[in-house]
Amino acid sequence: MEAKLRHALEKDEFRLFYQPKVDLETGKIHSVEALLRWNDPDEGMISPAEFIPVLEETGLIVPVGEWIISQACKDISSWSREHNIDTGVAINISPLQLRDPGFCETLKRLISENNVSPSRIECEMTESTLLNNTKENINKLNQLKELGVKIAIDDFGTGYSSLSYLVTLPIDTLKIDQSFVRDMTTQSGSAAIVKTVINLAHNLGLEVVAEGVENKSHVGFLQQHGCDIVQGYYISKPVPSNELIKFLKSYSSEINQVFKHDSDRVVLFVDDDPTLISLLQRVFKDEGYLVLTSNDAAGAFELLATHDVGVIVSDQRMPHMSGTEFLHRVKDIYPHTMRIILSGYSEMSDVVDAVNQGSIYKFITKPWRAEQLKNVIREAFKVHEQTLKPLID
Ligand code: C2E
Ligand code: CA
Ligand code: CA
């Protein structure tokens, strides 16, 4: 195998497959993971589990790793150019590759040669990769962060890393190993590990991905425990680039429904400006919420009475009643709602008073950005559901 692998690169026998990951919050595709395949002329497609160790032992993983990054960058830019698809790609990086002194430079060069935005690349590394040469690794990871690529820890939970060391690393994502996901719905030990890793990640401000998601009960369990992203055969096997394109194009809102929270998340926007209301409706059209709107407080009270509203976003400056006054009243009647205000700087003193009185949960100063508002509302729903849970249980 070693002799054959030495020529596999020049004979163009490697392929990159891609496996999609789904965002559980929205049901949309989050990104894809690039997975290497070797198309051996005698034996056909060989699994990486068989040949990656040989590439590692022989050092071939360094040139092959460069090919992987280069191919992924080419695919990313052709997806953008030809199909208007802007999905990010996670690339597996082996320990030897990270240790190579030229690694960061090579990555930087390939990214810029292919005109790829670094934010579309995530490097997946296992705990053990990061544990050797700790000081040098931290330097490398910081260089990667400066480049603008994201970093994920793969197979999390299977290594023997010290948590105090891990938290010093500039990482973005934890991937829960599939061995835990496989039996988390039947084995209490795995269930405990999965729940703990999700909490750990969130407490550290990291995203958490579960891999090896194979059925509906896996999805349900992960959804119930607040996992952000899922990957596995239940969504799709790893497929070649052309099949991935087909998959992404046909991935419809019908499939989204499987992952979406049933619209039990109701958000209410209150603003007297009709253009702002229609902007908000557009921004939140596909976020998985039931979106209600009103142009005044009176209409908002009607909607609150007839819907189980979780999050309310109100403009501060409105003709008959200020936003803070409105939300103060809402608090008395619906204390468990999450109340957010959109305010200009000139109205700040009223807003500060309202925060101190507990009438509002957060304020956002104008002009707001769509991403920022989405994040605040998503967080608000999480807090809302956490506070309601003990009441329901
Ligand atoms: P990994 O990084 O943990 O990748 C996930 C593996 O789980 C992949 O196996 C994927 O096909 C498989 N998988 C995905 N969904 C499911 C599922 O629902 N059920 C089950 N049972 N398996 C699922 P694959 O492609 O055979 O890769 C195996 C390992 O080889 C990878 O594990 C990774 O460690 C390594 N590898 C793959 N591609 C590369 C690469 O480009 N570079 C490096 N350095 N290593 C790679
Ligand atoms: Ca991986
Ligand atoms: Ca893994």
Instruction: Please give the residue that has the higher pLDDT: either 26 or 321.
Output: 321
pLDDT of 143 reads 95
In terms of Cβ atoms closer than 10 Å to its own Cβ (0-12, 13-18, 19+), residue 191 is middle
Comparing CA positions, the residue from 336, 291, 332, 346 lying closest to residue 313 is 291
Q: What is the pLDDT of residues 328-367, one digit of tens each?
A: 989 988 889 999 999 988 888 888 888 888 889 999 998 8
| CA atoms within 13 A of residue 165's CA, in its CB half-sphere | 15
Instruction: Please give the residue that has the higher pLDDT: either 284 or 159.
Output: 284
Residue 385 has pLDDT above 90, yes or no: no
* Residue 391 in contact with ligand 1 by CB distance below 6 A: no
* Residue 47 in contact with ligand 1 by CB distance below 6 A: yes
pLDDT of 93 reads 97
**Residue 263: which pLDDT band, with cuts at 50, 70 and 90?**
low
Question: How many A from CA of 166 to the centre of ligand 1?
Answer: 23
Question: How many A from CA of 92 to the centre of ligand 3?
Answer: 9
Tell me how far CA of residue 264 lies from CA of 227, 332, 340, in angstroms. 18, 22, 19
C-alpha Rg value of the chain to the nearest Å: 24
In terms of Cβ atoms closer than 10 Å to its own Cβ (0-12, 13-18, 19+), residue 374 is middle
pLDDT of 253 reads 54
- Cβ atoms within 10 A of the Cβ of 73, count? 23
pLDDT of 259 reads 65
Question: How many A from CA of 210 to the centre of ligand 3?
Answer: 9
Six-digit token string for 9: 């690169």
Q: Which helix (H) or strand (E) holds 129?
A: helix 127-131
Share of the chain above pLDDT 90, in %: 67
Mean pLDDT of all residues belonging to the chain: 90
In sequence order, which residues have a C-beta less than 8 Å from that of residue 170 and are 6 or more positions away? Answer: 138, 141, 142, 145, 151
Q: What is the pLDDT of residues 26-47, one digit of tens each?
A: 888 999 999 999 999 888 999 9
Cα separation, 184 vs 134, in Å, equals 32
Identify the nearest ligand to the CA of 97 by its number.
1
Instruction: Give mean pLDDT, residues 193-222.
Output: 92
Residue 262 has pLDDT above 70, yes or no: no
Question: How many A from CA of 322 to the centre of ligand 1?
Answer: 55
Comparing CA positions, the residue from 31, 8, 5 lying closest to residue 18 is 31
Cα separation, 325 vs 351, in Å, equals 10
Six-digit token string for 39: 């198309």
- Cβ atoms within 10 A of the Cβ of 278, count? 11
Question: Per DSSP, what are the bridge partners of residue 61?
Answer: none
Q: What is the pLDDT of residues 85-118, one digit of tens each?
A: 999 999 999 999 999 999 999 999 999 999 999 9
Residue 388 has pLDDT above 80, yes or no: no
Question: How many A from CA of 293 to the centre of ligand 2?
Answer: 42
* Residue 325 in contact with ligand 1 by CB distance below 6 A: no
Top mutation candidate among 92, 129, 209 for ligand 1, by most atoms within 8 Å of CB: 92
**Residue 261: which pLDDT band, with cuts at 50, 70 and 90?**
low
Closest ligand 1 atom to 93 CA: 44
Share of the chain above pLDDT 70, in %: 95
Closest ligand 1 atom to 231 CA: 15
| Phi and psi angles of residue 126, each rounded to the nearest 5 degrees, phi first | -80, 165
Tell me how far CA of residue 286 lies from CA of 120, 275, 291, in angstroms. 22, 19, 10
Comparing CA positions, the residue from 156, 232, 164 lying closest to residue 194 is 156
Residue 63 has pLDDT above 80, yes or no: yes
Identify the nearest ligand to the CA of 175 by its number.
3
pTM over the 0.75 mark: no
pLDDT of 194 reads 94
**Residue 254: which pLDDT band, with cuts at 50, 70 and 90?**
low
* Residue 155 in contact with ligand 1 by CB distance below 6 A: yes
Closest ligand 1 atom to 155 CA: 3
